[in-house]
Amino acid sequence: MRYGPQWRDYRRVFHQHFNQVAVDKYQDIQARESQVFLRRLLETPEDFFDHIRLAFTTTIMEIVYGIPVTNKNDKFVAMSEEAINSLSVAAIPGAFLVDFVPILKHVPAWFPGAGFKRKAEEWSCLKNRFINEPFDFTKVALHEGSMMRASIASTLLQSLPEGNTEAELRARNVTAMAYIGRLLLTTAAIRVLFLAMLTHPGAQKRAQEELDRVVGNSRLPVFSDRDQLPYIDALIKETLRWLPIAPLAGLPHASTEDDVYNGYLIPKGSIIFGNIWSILHDPMVYPEPEKFKPERFLKDGKLNPEVRDPSVAVFGFGRRICPGRHFSDNAMYSLTSSLLSVFDIELPLDERGQPVLVTPQMGSGLLSPPGPFKCTIKPRSRVAEALVRDTQMDEVVIG
């Protein structure tokens, strides 16, 4: 969407629900779903990729639409997966020949070589479903009085002027973007966390030592513990820096006017990608950038404000910076601290019981999270296992 009045309207609504203060009201849902995630992980650790996706899908679907998601086969889960996969391909400039030969957009969909047009029609249908079906669910539930909990969509619906179709369309688009944006980043980042813990057991052990010292083993970490867990914060920052899930700033941008950078003219309308990978692997800023070292963000046992926070690049730039960054940060903290307090993540074993090195295939679409890989996930102790099993859930959730 181009910068202008409509973009500012969307941004204002986003900020209203995802600013640094507003996101605190979602902490109870995030904490609850982190606990559900732990229970699923305990029962079927080999399905941890599915559990990651479902944890964030459930959280965000409830917050944005008030829709309870019961299992990984839920229709909204399947639809969001399909939408994300399509977006990852469609958003890459140059992915289709029509990007280089614009006149091809005029050929019919049945014409040889016009597969891009058929894809575009499929994706347009999927996009419309993704924008409308969850929103319509909320709209009907609100009308029937069956909403279990207030959501962003229900709040927007209640504030809409009657008969204002333009305002409702804006609300539909805002909720869809809020949902998919939060899901994309947090799901991919937690995959990277698992990979980092798998390949850097020293960092995992240090995080667990901090959790044991501050939280103990009789309860799970809570948000009020965070100020006393600087290494956990450093671990999250290093996870975002080490393998940025959008190495080329995700969606492309365009220059709004002619500009000059380091002597190079950038004409108005040029497609621009921010090189997030280069920014976060600059050895002048992050010595030994290829190494996973959470301690680079610490000084005297506290976060070092002199070290550039990766969020300045990971969440975008300037007026386009991700408005949901505070929500994603809370989600990362809740799941990371809970996970490491009760589980060990180790290399998988072969048939002889020997550790197997893991080298996952990285994605090549809009986002580049690690592809599926195996690992050994087990409770740190019997006490930790009992703590997970004793976790109270608000509802029965089938993983």
User: What's the pLDDT tens digit per position in 373-384?
Assistant: 999 999 999 999
Judged by DSSP in three states, 118 sits in helix
Q: Which has the closest alpha carbon to 183: 81, 309, 91?
A: 81
| Structure confidence at residue 101 as a pLDDT band (50, 70, 90) | very low
**Angstrom distance (rounded) from CA 315 to CA 93:** 20
Separation CA 36–CA 54 (nearest Å):
10
Inform me whether the pLDDT recorded for 86 exceeds 70.
Answer: no
The answer as to CATH 1.10.630.10 being correct for domain 5-389 is: yes
Residue 213, classified by CB atoms within 10 Å of its CB into exposed (0-12), middle (13-18) or buried (19+), is exposed
β pairing state of 376-379 and 343-346:
antiparallel
How many Å apart are CA 49 and CA 171, to the nearest integer? Answer: 31
Contacts of 283 (CB under 8 A, 6+ apart): 289
- Alpha-helical runs (H) found in 301-381: 311-314, 325-342
pTM of the entire predicted model: 0.84
pLDDT (average), residues 195-206: 96
Structure token pair of residue 382: 């019997």
Strands 343-346 and 302-303, by their bridges, are: unpaired
Q: What is the mean pLDDT of residues 121-130?
A: 78
322 is in an annotated binding site: yes
pLDDT digits (tens, 9 = 90+) for 157-177: 888 877 778 888 888 888 888
In the predicted structure, residue 106 carries a pLDDT above the cut 60:
no
Please give the full DSSP string across 153-205, using - where no structure is assigned.
HHHHHHHSPTT-HHHHHHHHHHHHHHHHHHHHHHHHHHHHHHHHHHH-HHHHH
The whole-number pLDDT of residue 118 equals: 62
Rounded to whole angstroms, the Cα distance separating 368 from 166 reads 35
- Report, as an integer, the average pLDDT of 64-75: 80
User: Any residues with CB less than 8 A from the CB of 366 and at least 6 apart, and which?
Assistant: 87, 88, 89, 91, 92, 184, 246, 250, 251
The span from the CA of 197 to the CA of 187, in Å, is 16
| Cβ proximity of 50 and 382 under 8 Å | no
Cite the beta strand spans of the chain per DSSP E: 253-254, 259-261, 264-266, 271-272, 298-299, 302-303, 343-346, 376-379
